[in-house]
């Protein structure tokens, strides 16, 4: 079931052939919309932008993006130079609002074919933003793939990705989060496209979709450190650093090579961690030689019931996280 918030485009939106659970008409400030729908279950929200008070001030849309699921919002833009300017559209994209259009055909299309960042990346202009104090804030940059990398001032985003199956990324993130918290730093953990975190019953561990990763990072930009369990399809480009976990057991390595014979070649130059490793120093050197990669860190089997402080602090120190 869907929600419609309309004003000047009410007559057009009345022609949408969709199921509607709630429809409101008029001009509303951002706080009113958040209060009405933050705890209201809906499939999609079609927002006639003229229904948002002072909609030309993009900070009002930012209020919505911080409290509502932007993946569910389709913004119907006025066909005006201000709202179609590269700066305005880039602002929407930076908030994680990827579904916007100027006409009803576009709304109908986005209802069944929602955009991802890659669909709108060509519209995203990367600028050096100005901080509220007048200085230059940390930039939003892109790499050659065009995927945005959000590096908020003072925030370090660490991605962790299993290369061999079940190498312990989820548990490592849980233990790292606790270790970082003990250091007195604010930390949030996120997992991408899975729901293992729910079993920790920890409000600082969030399960999100890959498409929503950028907007969730923006919501938590005040955290000193964000840990991201990237899963197999998570975007690594959005992180400051990524750790690639390999469990060096024979069966795990053979399975990996059967799936992708170029797996080690793809890891060249990356921060590879041997997880749950009991290899000797000579075995590790032999592994590096045979795989053609350099090992960044060797993680022994960890006891989840203990703090494992020495090992985890060693890893955090190697990454330079102690400086954040």
When pLDDT is averaged across residues 305-322 and rounded to a whole number, the result is 82
* Nearest-10 Cα torsion for 45, 48, 54, 55: 80
When pLDDT is averaged across residues 143-149 and rounded to a whole number, the result is 35
pLDDT at 233: 60
Closest CA relative to residue 297, chosen from 282, 317, 324: 317
Domain 2-123 bears CATH identifier 3.40.50.2300:
yes
Query: Average per-residue pLDDT in the chain?
Result: 83
d(CA 212, CA 70): 8
In 3-state terms, what secondary structure has residue 242?
A: strand
- Under the banding of pLDDT at 50, 70 and 90, the label for residue 219 is confident
- Under the banding of pLDDT at 50, 70 and 90, the label for residue 159 is very high
pLDDT at 140: 36
pLDDT at 227: 94
- Under the banding of pLDDT at 50, 70 and 90, the label for residue 317 is confident
In 3-state terms, what secondary structure has residue 50?
A: helix
Alpha helices in 68-212 (DSSP H): 86-94, 104-112, 117-120, 169-182
Q: Take residue 322 and report the two structure tokens written for it.
A: 């102690």
d(CA 93, CA 88): 9
Higher pLDDT, 66 or 190: 190
DSSP 318: H
When pLDDT is averaged across residues 153-158 and rounded to a whole number, the result is 73
Tell me the fold of 149-323: Rossmann fold (3.40.50)
* 8 Å CB contact between 260 and 235: no
- Under the banding of pLDDT at 50, 70 and 90, the label for residue 323 is low
pLDDT tens by residue, 88-101: 888 888 888 899 99
Could you tell me the residue ranges of all domains in the chain?
Answer: 2-123, 149-323
pLDDT tens by residue, 240-294: 889 999 999 889 999 999 988 989 998 988 999 999 888 898 999 999 998 999 9
String of DSSP letters for 243-312 = EEEE---HHHHHHHHHH-TTHHHHTTTSEEEETT----HHHHHHHHHHHT--EEEE-----TTS--HHHH
What pTM does this model have? 0.56
In 3-state terms, what secondary structure has residue 76?
A: strand
Task: Give yes or no for residue 82 having a pLDDT over 70.
Answer: yes
Please give the order of strands across the beta sheet that includes 20-25. Answer: 20-25, 2-6, 44-48, 73-76, 100-101
DSSP 28: B
Task: Give yes or no for residue 132 having a pLDDT over 50.
Answer: no
| % the chain with pLDDT above 70 | 88
Identical fold, 2-123 and 149-323: yes
* 8 Å CB contact between 291 and 266: no
């Amino acid at each position: 079931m869907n929600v419609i918030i309309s004003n000047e485009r009410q007559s057009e939106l009345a022609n949408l052939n969709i199921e509607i659970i709630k429809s409101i008409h008029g001009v509303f400030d951002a706080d009113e919309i958040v209060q009405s729908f933050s705890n209201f279950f809906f499939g999609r929200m079609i927002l006639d932008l003229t229904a948002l008070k002072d909609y030309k001030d993009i900070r009002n849309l930012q209020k919505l993006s911080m409290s509502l699921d932007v993946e569910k919002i389709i913004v119907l833009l006025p066909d005006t130079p201000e709202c179609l300017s590269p700066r305005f559209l880039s602002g929407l994209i930076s908030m994680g609002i990827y579904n916007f259009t100027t006409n009803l055909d576009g709304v109908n299309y986005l209802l069944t074919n929602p955009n991802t960042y890659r669909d709108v990346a060509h519209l995203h202009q990367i600028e050096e933003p100005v901080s509220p104090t007048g200085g230059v804030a940390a930039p939003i940059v892109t790499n050659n793939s065009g995927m945005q990398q959000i590096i908020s001032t003072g925030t370090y985003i660490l991605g962790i990705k299993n290369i061999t199956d079940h190498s312990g990324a989820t548990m490592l993130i849980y233990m790292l989060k606790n270790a970082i918290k003990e250091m007195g730093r604010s930390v949030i953990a996120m997992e991408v496209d899975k729901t293992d975190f729910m079993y920790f019953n920890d409000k600082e561990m969030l399960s999100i979709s890959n498409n929503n990763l950028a907007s969730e990072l923006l919501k938590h930009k005040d955290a000193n450190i964000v840990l991201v369990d990237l899963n197999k399809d998570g975007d690594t480009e959005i992180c400051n650093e990524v750790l690639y976990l390999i469990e060096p057991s024979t069966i795990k390595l053979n399975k990996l090579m059967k799936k992708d014979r170029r797996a080690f070649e793809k890891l060249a130059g990356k921060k590879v961690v041997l997880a749950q490793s009991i290899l000797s120093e000579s075995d590790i050197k032999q592994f590096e030689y045979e795989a053609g990669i350099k090992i960044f860190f060797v993680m022994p089997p960890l006891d989840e019931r203990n703090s494992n402080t020495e090992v985890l602090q060693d890893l955090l120190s190697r990454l330079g996280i102690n400086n954040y």
